[in-house]
Amino acid sequence: MTRSSGGRGEPRQELATLVRSLGDYLQDQAKVGLEWVSWERADAMGPRQETLAEVRADLGECKRCRLHTTRRHIVYGEGSPSARVVIVGEGPGEDEDVQGRPFVGAAGRLLDAIIAAAGWGRQELYICNVIKCRPPRNRDPQEDETDACGAFVKRQIRAIRPRAILAVGNVAARFLLAADTPISGLRGRVHDFEGIPVVPTYHPAYLLRNPVQKRRVWQDIEMLLQVVGGSSGG
């Protein structure tokens, strides 16, 4: 292979110039007080994880999909930033849209009862949804809406790094597990999201219509308790 000289210096000279300017740059930085860490330490520290507040700031007054035109409030999520368990639902309903908080309507009251039966307090968990704005008349989220919003719930989970995720309902379970299987085929087993165990279960709104399924949800909660080893809080 031939190399054209094309007015540029020899590779060795280029490298020497680069090393010199890097050295000058580092000396200048040291003069203004910048401290350096070894490559080994920087490697061990790993990339800094963004916080829930940073993810919220990036979401902003979101207009990434059509749902912003009909929402009253963005429902970002709430709870402990060091929760051992993150509960992920589908998206806000009417009560959540009015209050700007997740799971505060009838389904939320049943979820609170499930949380209490597991021996937890709501404040020690983190509760959020796949989509952050209410779809009109509580219809299912459309694919482009989940595509526009879904990255945020993943970033929320990464910011918390919980011991386990409880995915309630079809939308949350399928989204986090990138699966087409209905919730009835996903529940009853522990799955995985980026190394975090995921326990899928029925949505509390479905339980309100089908109370006979409460027994199965309780089986799933017992599995979740085993995964996290008792209490959920940090």
Q: Residue numbers of the site for ligand URA (CB under 6 A)?
A: 89-93, 96, 102-103, 107-108, 129, 205
Determine phi and psi for 168, rounding to 5 degrees: -100, 120
Q: Minimum distance from CB of 131 to ligand URA (Å)?
A: 9
Q: Minimum distance from CB of 172 to ligand URA (Å)?
A: 7
Closest CA to 78 of 156, 133, 2, 12: 156
Q: Minimum distance from CB of 126 to ligand URA (Å)?
A: 13
Query: Is the Cβ of residue 121 or residue 231 nearer to ligand URA in the bound state?
Result: 121
Q: How far apart are CA 44 and CA 27, in angstroms?
A: 25
List of residues 6+ apart from 183 with CB closer than 8 A: 169, 170, 173, 174, 200, 201, 202, 203
Extract the tokens encoding 176: 């986090």
Query: Is the Cβ of residue 16 or residue 116 nearer to ligand URA in the bound state?
Result: 116
Extract the tokens encoding 161: 């790094």
Query: Is the Cβ of residue 77 or residue 197 nearer to ligand URA in the bound state?
Result: 77
Closest CA to 101 of 139, 74, 83: 74
Q: Minimum distance from CB of 37 to ligand URA (Å)?
A: 42
Among all residues, whose Cβ is closest to ligand URA? Answer: 89
Query: Is the Cβ of residue 96 or residue 228 nearer to ligand URA in the bound state?
Result: 96
Query: Is the Cβ of residue 91 or residue 200 nearer to ligand URA in the bound state?
Result: 91
Q: Minimum distance from CB of 159 to ligand URA (Å)?
A: 19
List of residues 6+ apart from 180 with CB closer than 8 A: 174
